[in-house]
Amino acid sequence: MRSGIEKNDQRIFIFDTTLRDGEQSPGVNLNSEEKLAIAQQLARLGVDIIEAGFPISSMGDFKSVQRIAREVKGPVIAGLARTNERDIRAVFDAVKEAEKPRIHTFIATSEIHMQKKLQKTREEVKEMAVKAVRLAKSLVDDVEFSAEDAFRSEMPFLCEILTAVIEAGATVVNVPDTVGYATPFEFAEFIKKIKQGVPNIDKAILSVHCHNDLGMAVANSLSAVLNGARQVEVAVNGIGERAGNASLEEIVMALYTRRNYLKFDTGINTQEIYRTSRMVSTLTGMMIQPNKAVVGKNAFAHEAGIHQDGVLKERETYEIMNPEMVGISSNKLVLGKHSGRHAFKLQLQELGYNLEGEALDKAFDEFKQLTDRKKEILDEDLIMLMDSFLFGSGEDVYVLDHFQLSSGTNISSTVTVGIKTNGVMAEEAACADGPIEATYKAIEKIINLPVKLDSYSISAVTGGKDAQGEVVVRVSLDDRTFMGRGLSVDIIEASAKAYINALNKIVRTYPELVP
């Protein structure tokens, strides 16, 4: 077999689709820089395959996949294609410069999808699949075929099409539970039947791609692994279409923590999990629920007195994993006003950020500004600061210069906001029932774009009264949604920054909107 990865009976290949299926989450819209940063972090994490995007879907996606293929070393770089020539050639053009390129082509095989969506017969679908795999195989060695909605497909037909695509050269065959309908016991039977019904299955890697509509994506994936699947398709923080995909961190930590029972390995460096999760959450604007397994704020917090007592006496009384394993540092070194550049640099290194020269100077300046407003700077503050520093564009059209607010009980809020547009200052005031609405009205008077604010959320980065507030907004223009993020110890300032951040992304995409 000439796939970009080599089979070994105990090794589970982690195929990460955060940048493709994950990016299909409603409201997620990553730019090329952000996608590259996530791909580089996925490579550090040790995933085997990065599905970098769907190149035919837009020029932007094509370029991002191409950039990732050129710059990210280590994992296989895959792109998604339907079973037509244009899609397949677009993936090839995008991934051909990767160290290990893969073309991933798919077509639906369930009766409902074939009849209602594709309006094709089984024979036509099989022919399209085989033709697509042959074409892809003429371009690259490593070809993955996915039978979309495989779990609801008729088994004899599914086995027939998988046999045919392996014969045509597919190195990986993927059987998705596209609509998240399976249960673990049924999924085990499903995988066993494929192993029995596809005579050449040993010539390919069997892969699963489970959606989480009934909350069983991780359980179904593990059930498949126990029955012969060797590639699992996952997304960081479980993001993806609708209820999302199987979560990378849950699958990896289940395989790691229960290796005594499951007996499989992955190539993942588990200590990079937390940082990857934070980065994906920050850049996608998809917050992590506090009780989320492995990476949620409460995942390692012991609240009940009896539990705390137990953990203090012997950690393993209530902890099956420890935070250090996923890269949550126990070395809570607190930085502050008096911390110097050296301590700052060392702590950044500890967290995985290696900055030098001018970049370090700039980051240190931002850190110093934060210490003027917040006494103790914790790791979470530094991670947030670094993520905004590294991904906030230095060339924003709109920059918040100042704001002033008057608000109180039984009075409406009045806000004055000053914004520089390409360096030119404008100031406006507005009134509303609340300070955030007033701030947004004043911003809209200066930046007059035909946008709609779809959502607003705020959370505290750390505990404590002086915690920084992180605001995430989603703003739409026509049918496109843009996420904006703002961070500050002052939540009105964080709100203003988040809105302005989203507006900057809009004018970066549509420069003609800037007057």
User: Which residues bind to Zn ion, rule: CB under 5 A?
Assistant: 21
Which residues from 143-162 bind ligand KIV, rule CB under 6 A?
A: 146, 148
Q: Is 21 in the site for ligand KIV (CB under 6 A)?
A: yes
Minimum distance, C-beta of residue 320 to Zn ion, in the bound complex (Å):
29
To ligand KIV, the closest distance from the beta carbon of 130 in angstroms equals 18
For the CB of residue 247, give the shortest distance to Zn ion in the complex, in Å.
13
Contact 407, 413 (CB under 8 A): yes
**Residues in a beta bridge with 404:** 416
Dist. CA 7–CA 161, nearest whole Å? 22
CA distance 23 to 40: 16
Q: Where are the alpha helices (DSSP H) in 168-247?
A: 184-197, 217-226
Q: Report in angstroms how near the CB of residue 21 gets to ligand KIV at its nearest.
A: 5
The number of residues making up the chain comes to 515
Query: What's the rounded Cα separation, in Å, for the pair 472 and 454?
Result: 11
Q: Which is nearer to ligand KIV, 211 or 497 (CB)?
A: 211
The least CB distance from residue 171 to Zn ion, in Å, is: 20
Total of chain residues touching ligand KIV, rule CB under 6 A = 9
Nearer to ligand KIV, 83 or 266 (CB): 83
Residues in 393-432 at the binding interface with ligand KIV, rule: CB under 6 A:
none
Nearest CB to Zn ion, comparing residues 77 and 239: 239
**CB-nearer residue toward Zn ion: 112 or 411:** 112
Binding partner selected for residue 146 from Zn ion, ligand KIV, none, CB under the kind-specific 5 to 8 Å limit: ligand KIV
> Nearer to Zn ion by C-beta: 238 or 435?
238
Binding mask 159-198 toward ligand KIV (x if CB under 6 A, else -) reads ---------------x-x-x--------------------
Q: Which is nearer to Zn ion, 177 or 379 (CB)?
A: 177
Number of DSSP helices (H) and strands (E) in the chain, helices first: 17, 14
Residues 480 and 487: their CA atoms lie apart, in Å, by 24
Kindly tell me which of 194 and 335 has the beta carbon lying closer to ligand KIV. Answer: 194
What does 504 interact with, of ligand KIV, Zn ion, none (CB < 5 to 8 A by kind)?
none
**Residue 423, token pair as written in the block:** 């360096």
Separation of CA 232 from chain center? 16
CA distance 132 to 161: 12
Site for ligand KIV in 91-110 (CB under 6 A): 106
Nearer to ligand KIV, 23 or 148 (CB): 148
Q: Which of 152, 209, 230, 292 binds ligand KIV (CB under 6 A)?
A: 209
- E strands, 127-284, where? 142-148, 172-177, 205-210, 231-234
Structure tokens at 397: 């059209």
CB of 51 to ligand KIV, least distance (A): 9
| The 469-477 sheet, strands edge to edge | 452-460, 469-477, 480-488
As measured in angstroms, the least distance from the Cβ of 145 to ligand KIV is: 10
- 106 interacts with, out of Zn ion, ligand KIV, none, CB within 5 to 8 A per kind: ligand KIV
Q: What is the DSSP letter of 461?
A: S
| Cβ atoms of 469 and 488 closer than 8 Å | yes
- Choose between 108 and 386: whose C-beta lies nearer to ligand KIV: 108
Coil vs helix vs strand at 490: coil
Q: How far is the CB of 217 from Zn ion (least distance, A)?
A: 10
CB of 231 to ligand KIV, least distance (A): 12
Task: State the Rg of the chain over Cα.
Answer: 25
Contact criterion met (CB below 8 Å) for 94 and 55: yes
DSSP state of 117: I
244 binds ligand KIV (CB under 6 A): no
Closest CA to 320 of 307, 330, 332: 307
Which stretches of the chain bind ligand KIV, using CB under 6 A? Answer: 21, 106, 146, 148, 174, 176, 178, 209, 211
